[in-house]
Amino acid sequence: MSEPAISSASSIPDQLMRRVQGDDDDVAFAGLVERYSAKAHRLAHSICHDDDGTDLAVQEAFASMWTSRATYRASRGGVETWMMSIVRHRAIAVARGDALRASRTARVVEFDRLLGEDADVADVALVAEDTDRLRGLLLRLPATQREVIGLAFYGELTHREISEHLGLPPGTIKGRMRLGLEKLRAEIDS
């Protein structure tokens, strides 16, 4: 693939994206994929934490970029920003799906354990009630606090990973986490 000469007015990614949008140029799109593939994999892996999830997220992201190429607007940010935003969103969706499946499996295992030979139906009901109460308390938190708590506990991300993922300083992440957990503790204790 030969890339167009770099003009002073625009970069190679900008020129490739114009070709992709204008002519449905799959060769130009392949050039963008080649240029950003490694970065997309690193970003997706920082969110998914496993090779299968990473590969799936990146594949879905690039497919989404191709189908939504007409929505790209240079005035809203560069090509790389647009592409990495799509990768980030796809990786979150994949990670959440994996986390939901793992959570469901864990609940089934816990339920089976509780329903063992010495099971007490009251214990099973209490566990279900506690789970519902915690879910309700989480929903009452401000969205910013709920998001970082969810990414930490359900997404199993570190403060640093959440910071990178959301594009916010680590101190902001820690502050939101602390405030959210304090509110949850106060509600649980009341």
pLDDT per position as a tens digit, 36-91: 999 999 999 998 888 888 998 899 889 888 888 888 888 888 888 889 988 998 89
CATH of the domain at 138: 1.10.10.10
134: phi > 0 → left, psi -120 to 50 → alpha, else beta; which?
alpha
Single-letter amino acid code for the residue at 37: S
**107 is a domain residue:** no
Are 96 and 87 contacting, i.e. CB atoms less than 8 angstroms apart? no
157: phi > 0 → left, psi -120 to 50 → alpha, else beta; which?
beta
CATH of the domain at 22: 1.10.1740.10
**45 is a domain residue:** yes
Reported pTM: 0.49
**65 is a domain residue:** yes
Report the number of distinct structural domains present in the chain. 2
Full domain range(s) for residue 178: 120-189
